């Protein structure tokens, strides 16, 4: 059961998140990469985490900009 097709954790696709689409990525064990069926984003765990952190920063900036508008 622990050996899921989706890997240890389900990550959201950072590229889809930026378009406000909530999309789980699939995990390719052979390549050790996560990929998204929707936008064909491919990246390893590090890349996904980095982009997710980047998204959070951008999102915070966006709300900041809106509230100060």
| DSSP tag of 68 | T
The dihedral formed by the CA atoms of 18, 22, 26 and 27, expressed in degrees to the nearest 10: 60
Nearest distance, CB of residue 37 and Zn ion, angstroms: 8
In the list 13, 27, 34, 51, the residue contacting Zn ion (rule: CB under 5 A) is 13
Q: Compare residues 26 and 39 and give the one whose CB is closer to Zn ion.
A: 39
Nearest by Cα to 49 from 6, 9, 3: 9
Q: Compare residues 36 and 48 and give the one whose CB is closer to Zn ion.
A: 36
Nearest distance, CB of residue 35 and Zn ion, angstroms: 9
Q: What gap in Å lies between CA 63 and CA 8, rounded to an integer?
A: 32
**Do the beta carbons of residue 44 and residue 33 sit within 8 Å?**
yes
The pattern of x and - marking residues 16 through 55 that bind Zn ion according to CB under 5 A reads x------x------------x-xx-x--------------
């Amino acid at each position: 059961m622990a050996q899921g097709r989706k890997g240890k954790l389900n990550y959201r696709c950072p590229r889809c998140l930026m378009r406000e689409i909530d999309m789980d990525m699939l995990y390719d064990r052979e390549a050790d990469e996560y990929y998204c069926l929707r936008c064909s984003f491919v990246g390893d765990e590090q890349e996904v985490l980095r982009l997710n952190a980047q998204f959070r920063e951008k999102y915070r900036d966006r709300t900041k900009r809106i509230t100060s508008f």
